[in-house]
Amino acid sequence: MIQIIPAIDIIEGKCVRLSQGDYAQKKVYNEQPLEVAKQFEDHGITRLHLVDLDGAKSNRIINYKVLETIARNTNLVIDFGGGLKSNEDLRIAFNSGAAMITGGSIAVKNPELFTQWISTYGAEKIILGADVQNNMIAISGWQESTQLPLFDFLQSYREKGVLQTICTDISKDGMLQGPATELYKRIKAQFSDLYVVASGGVAHMSDIEELNAEGIDAVITGKAIYEGTISLKQIAQLIEN
């Protein structure tokens, strides 16, 4: 069964969502992220994707206190990302309660350091963030495009030991128009032993069921929960089944 991973994106300590990574299209959903995390846990969810959007913009960890608060007051397995660029950032993230971290821009801009993190912390704790636009990797909170093809990027890090990737199709993110299922199918077909987390575009339970039917390992959903097109009750029923 596909693992459902809700997302909490943080700006100034508040739970927000952006559309297509645009900070100008920000919507605040809850000023208390811990409340949101506890609701998730109460509905059988075990993992949380926590993104420090201030950190992504600042290139250093900012909202680690939110991470600390959620980690201390829930049993959620938290994967944390957004602006992690240094050994000190990682130390703070893990000390604040992250079970895993996600690195995207750093894996492009400083592959030596990202590879070092894999060997230092173990591949089970370091997730490769692969944000993609027109089959090319995008970085720096999607503010910057590259000429790096997605599949080459995945291949190079699979060879370096990466076990898990969160792949976000930027064109779908926050749009509630369905995920890039065909893209995830292609990734899974080429990298069968990679734990593939689909992200972006999930709008309804049928989207999650479709990804599940295609053998995708996990899916991140954020806006659909906050906008009410997917209910936590529906997620709980799927988890129970």
d(CA 17, CA 21): 9
Asked about 169 being catalytic, the answer comes back as no
Of residues 9, 52, 89, 207, which has the active-site annotation? 9
Query: In the numeric block, which tokens belong to residue 44?
Result: 């059988």
Enumerate residues 6+ apart whose C-beta is below 8 A from 206.
none
Report the relative pairing of strands 218-221 and 3-11 from DSSP bridges: parallel
Q: How far is CA 41 from CA 11, 100, 124, 137, 236, in A?
A: 22, 18, 22, 32, 10
CA-CA distances (angstroms) from residue 50 to 33, 164, 185, 231, 237? Answer: 10, 16, 25, 19, 23
Position 30: which residue type?
Answer: N
Catalytic residue list contains 9: yes
**E strands, the chain, where?**
3-11, 14-19, 22-30, 47-52, 77-81, 100-103, 126-133, 136-139, 144-149, 164-169, 195-199, 218-221
Strands 195-199 and 218-221: parallel
- Whole-number Å distance between alpha carbons of 80 and 73: 16
Q: Which residue of the set 54, 131, 169, 217 is catalytic?
A: 131
How large is the angle between the packed helices 111-121 and 87-95, nearest 10 degrees?
40
What kind and span of H or E run contains 68?
Answer: helix 64-73
Catalytic residues: 9, 131
